[in-house]
Amino acid sequence: MATLNVKKLNKSFGTTSVFRDINFTANEGEFVTLLGPSGCGKSTLLRCLAGLTPVDSGEILLANKNIVNQPVQQRGIGMVFQSYALFPNMTVEKNVAFGLKMQKLHATEIRRRVAEALEMVELNEFANRYPHQLSGGQCQRVALARSLVTRPALLLLDEPLSALDARIRRHLRDQIRLIQKELNLTTIFVTHDQEEALTLSDRIVLMNKGNIVQNGGAEELYTQPADLFAAGFIGNYNLLTPEQATRLTGQVFSAHVAIRPETLSFCQSGQGLAARILSSSLLGNIIRYRVECQGIELSVDILNRHDDDLYAAGQRIDLLVDTGALRNVA
């Protein structure tokens, strides 16, 4: 396992800049997520780390060694792609063993390590099957085992869960995190899914238009967004203009204000601001209301405790605003 340091990394395709002056660190055993919308440069950045795409300038230090000019096979990096990238004419066992054969290890050692990797991803019984005989989730676990079996210093995961259905995605997400912790494996994970990033990560590097917008822990990004983009991308913030925020709170603001929907609540008549229910959505244990208050539409998340707690569209209620949870965003 090793620490990754990325310093002043730049990449362009012709006159189009993909990312600029990228700097971040993934400490040994840390799970770092590159999060951002499609086209922000996160997948290209991951391919540059792997050596699949050359960079224009900058350094990629793995265990204090600059690997920018090293070929892919000498970097000590494992990578899992969204598309699995399995050999269709090989069994599960042979797919997993492929990298070890390229390293010319002894057959006994290869068998031992392949069996160990398949046990880790719970696919021992599928060793002799071919990719077309597996589900999408099983194929992705084969791809994960193939990357782990070479014992990489760094694991790169390029949106490995995006093609899977929700139930399988949650299970595999938990399995990846469990294995990563067990091996203390430095990992870079790419996704555009906020829930995945918040659930999995030790740290999140939020990107937009080729730049790092914010770099911090999941709680920090959720509760302290750095700017308007971060507030809009992470969670379901209510984003207010300075005039709207002043109207809602009576305080004076000079910048946009973000309010998390769970920091708003309903209260007894006369104890808050007069509001009206516009609509509601049941999200499992959360009810998300759209309400109108002071001429402003807001999202309010309320814990779903009982059917009797549901408010109907058009119903009048009082809204309590936790002003301590307001966040100025540029």
At residue 307, the pLDDT reads 66
At residue 204, the pLDDT reads 97
At residue 130, the pLDDT reads 95
Q: Sign of dihedral through CA atoms 319, 323, 324, 325? A: positive
How far apart CA 148 and CA 130 sit, in angstroms, is: 19
At residue 98, the pLDDT reads 92
Token representation of residue 31: 């799970």
Sequence-distant (6+) residues with CB within 8 A of 121 are 141, 142, 144, 145, 148, 175, 179
At residue 105, the pLDDT reads 87
Q: Name the residue among 314, 324, 275, 323 with its Cα closest to residue 296.
A: 275
- Domains, the chain, with CATH or none: 4-233 (3.40.50.300), 238-329 (2.40.50.100)
At residue 306, the pLDDT reads 73
DSSP per-residue string spanning 149-206: TT--SEEEEESTTTTS-HHHHHHHHHHHHHHHHHHT--EEEEES-HHHHHHH-SEEEE
At residue 58, the pLDDT reads 98
At residue 308, the pLDDT reads 66
Give the helix ranges, DSSP H, for the chain: 42-50, 92-102, 107-120, 136-148, 166-183, 194-200, 218-223, 228-233, 242-249
- Per-residue pLDDT tens listing for the chain (330 residues): 699 999 999 999 999 999 999 999 999 999 999 999 999 999 999 999 999 999 999 999 999 999 999 999 899 999 998 888 899 999 999 999 998 988 888 999 999 999 999 998 999 999 999 999 999 889 999 999 999 998 999 999 999 888 778 888 888 889 889 999 999 999 999 999 998 999 999 999 999 999 999 999 999 999 999 999 999 998 889 999 999 999 999 999 999 999 999 999 999 889 999 999 999 998 888 999 999 999 999 999 999 887 666 899 999 999 999 988 899 997
How far apart CA 159 and CA 136 sit, in angstroms, is: 14
